[in-house]
A and B are shown apart, each in its own frame.
Chain A
Amino acid sequence: MSQVFKFSIFRFDPDEGKKPRFDNFDVPFKAGMTILDALFHIQGHIDTSLAFRFSCRAGVCGSCAMHIDGKYKLACETQASIALNKRVTIRPIAHLPIIRDLVVDMKPFWDQYKRIIPYLMPGDVAPEGRERYQTTSERQKLDHVIDCILCASCHSSCPMTASDPEYIGPAALLKANRFVVDSRDQSTAQRLQMVGDEHGVWRCHTVFNCSLACPKDLDPAGSIANLKREATKNFLKKPSTR
């Protein structure tokens, strides 16, 4: 008997007025196949109604985060071979409304991203005809915080984003920290105030799910800890800014 990859996939269309269900699919074995490849096989040859997001297929665009076999993973970076010896369950990422099947509405996630002033605020006029200088050790501080692909795995794994829809969440907080640690940014106080309320860093109960979930091995929990430290320092320095 030829080998197959076995999946059980979450299916839901809010328009149908029916409960979500799980469909089983068997995909013919191909060496080196990823979960994303397997989903394409299903969509092209078994069930054209299956919906999921994708783009780069190389683990860099952040489209294809899913809950695969109990963990948040990028479908394009995960080998289908995990589905040879057992039927693997695939669900959409959590804590976001479902549009259909594995596609969720990312708007709440982007709304939080947009809330933290997600752009450099240098506070001075840019030099004419050259870059702003930054030493290699200043630049090193950005090394991992700039790598976030905004896949929302951390957001979906966090118990706090589930209980408090206004919580800024680990991804947007990591982004805020990315500017706080950038030597060129001069708006730390404003940012810390922005993330310093009860829906900000203080909502985080250091569960560390986010850092465990991150497919890029980033450490949003570490970023949140840094923001807490800086916010405390800021608070002690200038009580009036509260």
Chain B
Amino acid sequence: MTRHDVIVVGAGLAGLRAAIAVNQKNVKVAVLTKVHPIRSHSVSAQGGINAALGNNPRGGFDSAEKHAFDTVKGSDYLADQQSVMKFTSTAPEIIYEMEHWGCPFSRTPEGKIAQRPFGGAGFPRTCYAADKTGHVLLHTLYEQAVKYEQASERQNFQVFEEWMVTRLVVEDGVCHGVIAMNFNTGAVEAFLADAVIFATGGSGRIYAPSTNAIINSGLGMAIPYWAGVPLKDMEFIQFHPTTLLGSGILMTEGCRGEGGFLTNANGERFLSNYSDSAKAMEVAPRDIVARNMQREILEGRGVKNESINLDLRHLGAEKIMERLPGIRDIAMNFVGVDPIVTPIPVRPGQHYTMGGIDTNVDGASEIKGFFACGEAACVSVHGANRLGGNSLLETLVFGKFSGEAAADYVLSEGKPAVNPKAVESALEDEKQKFKTMEGGSGKENAFTLNQELGEMMVENAGIFRDEERLKSGWKTIKQLQRRFKETRVTYTGKRFNQDLMWHLEIEGNLDLAEAVVAGAFARKESRGSHFRLDHDTRDDEKFLQHTIARYDPQEGKPKLAYRPVELGLWEPKERKY
């Protein structure tokens, strides 16, 4: 067992920013991550990050309030309004800080950070670096992490690469630490800590296909959920309009922000035929564009009945090469299409988890000493639908806030003591659990179960939902959970035991998917990304509320409750773009 002040789980943008914030307060921090920091999913983000800087000639009148309003409207009024105000008003300083740390943003002719239009935004406020924004942000933040690691004037900043956390230790409403496995050696160890911050990212891989990295399983959210931390608004899953046919790789919203068209099999820009997207067309918010694309495909106007064309040809070779070089590479490598001469075949696909670990605006949960930030957390600033460019911003803003809050907590007097016995006995339990997994009957194959789960989620908890589909989906999950007990970890070597790793990830996927389906089943309305064919309007009377899901260990399933949305700035209105 080792002892720590603050442990951060996850080294994507949220985790690294949180760790830096902790260390800036001269508190010791250890970052545990299952992949090297720069392999985290944040590196894949393409389009950009929002802040009302007003650098674009058409953005002169932009402000934090307008950014906040767009975010709240985009959320279909499920976002907490004061939290959103704090979020958008912190945005400019967070972006400038990244620039000062060396982030190579694209530039305007005046030498300022360049900004492009994005869906659901009243002004062009999305800062970018070509179509590799996540890459440059994550590499810059990692560079800073190395600087903190090397600096001797502060308390230690340590990164444990390729350590997978498998359990959170909570006793009597207090967090005591985590259990983690070192992939390189197979060692399973206990980490006692005064505070733990989860920044484990989204859980897109409970769907198949998904735009998310393969490592983005449900486990990161399931670990605190199993330990008694509630999850919030899990039914809100974003389907991105433009994912590549086949592999499901993302084609950034920047394609449309830069002027790309969506056309059906007849070459028609069909978004004009739907009242909710007729005006904004391709840059209407994601939930609306994704639904209207799916309708075109279902009604037989898709290309080969399976996709929609993302047409960039009119942008010209020069603009495509300058602004969207990564998109062009991906299209050529994965479907053999050069967007300069041929439209890209796309369809909507799972992209983002709006819900997550229930936290307040400081990243604090109801468990003392346990914090969360980034896509794994739900503050909520995205509500029922996240705007493009807001989630990179979320990782940095709330990474900073939760790191500061955790450090303050550790420095505060009279905080509850952590208990080494609690983590030691959790370590024994965990080792026992792994042994049991090696002794399973092996009648079922976990990988097959996982694939079945992912496909079922697309079908039954996808863009269009109804009672029947959700009910049968829930039944399937129950069966999959039973079948999972008949799987077996067959590889028993120590180094890089990915067989054990997959079984743990898949176990997390199953229980997390259940929280999504349970929330969707109970929410008998349509709001943002959650669209019920059998309840196709928003019901503010009953559902202007966050869903809170708690894991019931006796029943092995979620228990739901509701919490009112924090309003106060804008009255809910019908959304039209």
Q: Which residues of A contact B (CB under 8 A)?
A: 13-15, 32, 34, 43-45, 48-51, 53-63, 77, 99-101, 103, 105-106, 110, 113-114, 118-120, 122, 126, 129-136, 138-139, 142, 146-147, 149-150, 179, 182, 184-185
Contact = CB atoms under 8 A, between A and B. Distances in A.
Contacts of B135: 60, 146-147, 149
Interface in B81-134: 92-93, 95-96, 99-102, 104-113, 129, 132
B184 A99 contact: yes
Given A15-B495, A43-B498, A133-B111, A62 B38 contact: yes
A148 B99 CA distance: 19
Contact of B35 (A57, A63, A122): A63
Interface stretch (B2-10, B39-47, B377-385, B469-477): B39-47
Contacts of B64: none
Contact of A59 (B112, B143, B333): B333
Given A150-B38, A184-B102, A136 B107 contact: yes
A79 B113 CA distance: 37
Interface residues of B, number: 65
B60 interface: no
B34 to A, nearest CB: 9
Contacts of A142: 104
A119 B40 contact: no
Contact of B214 (A55, A103, A118, A119): A55
Contacts of B493: 13, 15, 49, 100
Contacts of B104: 139, 142, 146, 182
A231 B106 CA distance: 28
Nearest to B246: A32
Given A61-B213, A131-B96, A45 B150 contact: no
Contact of A56 (B44, B110, B149): B44
The 8 tightest CB contacts between A and B, nearest first, are A120-B102, A44-B447, A133-B111, A119-B143, A126-B100, A51-B496, A48-B499, A100-B495
Contacts of A57: 213-214, 247, 249
B338 to A, nearest CB: 16
B445 A45 contact: yes
A50 B36 CA distance: 20
B139 A56 contact: no
Interface in B16-32: none
Interface string B355-376: 0000000000000000000000
Nearest to B127: A131
B298 interface: no
A77 B106 CA distance: 26
B41 A56 contact: yes
B329 interface: yes
A101 B96 CA distance: 43
B146 A129 contact: no
Contacts of A135: 107, 111
Nearest to B150: A114
8 contacts: A48-B491, A49-B499, A58-B250, A61-B43, A131-B96, A131-B100, A132-B99, A136-B109
B139 A146 contact: yes
A233 to B, nearest CB: 23
B447 A45 contact: yes
B107 A99 contact: no
Given A43-B502, A130-B96, A132-B100, 5 more contacts: A13-B495, A63-B36, A122-B100, A131-B95, A149-B43
Interface string B241-276: 000001101100000000000000000000000000
Nearest to B488: A48
Contacts of B144: 119
Interface string B456-492: 0000000000000000000000000000000001110
B102 A119 contact: yes
Contacts of A182: 102, 104
A59 B150 contact: no
Contacts of B93: 129
B213 A55 contact: yes
A114 B146 contact: yes
B314 interface: no
B295 interface: no
Contacts of A103: 495-496
A142 B107 CA distance: 12
Nearest to B100: A126
A15 B493 CA distance: 9
A49 B491 contact: yes
Contacts of A99: 184, 495-496
B147 interface: yes
B415 interface: no
A147 B168 CA distance: 36
Contacts of B147: 119
B190 interface: no
Given A59-B330, A131-B96, A147 B132 contact: yes
Contact of B330 (A58, A105, A150): A58
B96 A51 contact: no
A138 B112 CA distance: 12
A34 B43 CA distance: 21
Contacts of A58: 44, 213, 247, 249-250, 330, 334
A68 to B, nearest CB: 14
Given A61-B39, A146-B139, A129 B213 contact: no
Given A44-B447, A55-B214, A150-B38, A119 B101 contact: yes
A113 B36 CA distance: 13
B136 interface: yes
Contact of B213 (A51, A56, A110, A150): A56
A129 B96 contact: yes
Contacts of A14: 495
A114 B159 CA distance: 13
B14 interface: no
A68 B139 CA distance: 27
Contacts of A118: 143, 146
B13 interface: no
Nearest to B144: A119
Given A119-B102, A146-B139, A44 B41 contact: no
A134 B496 contact: no
B494 interface: yes
A149 B321 CA distance: 19
A55 B39 contact: yes
A11 to B, nearest CB: 12
Contacts of B326: 60
B113 A131 contact: yes
Nearest to A103: B496
Contacts of B92: 129
Contacts of A77: 333-334
B459 to A, nearest CB: 20
Contacts of A146: 104, 129, 132, 135-136, 139
Nearest to B499: A48
Contacts of A138: 111
B40 A55 contact: yes
B215 interface: yes
Nearest to A148: B139
Contacts of A49: 490-491, 493, 499
Nearest to A179: B102
B39 A56 contact: yes
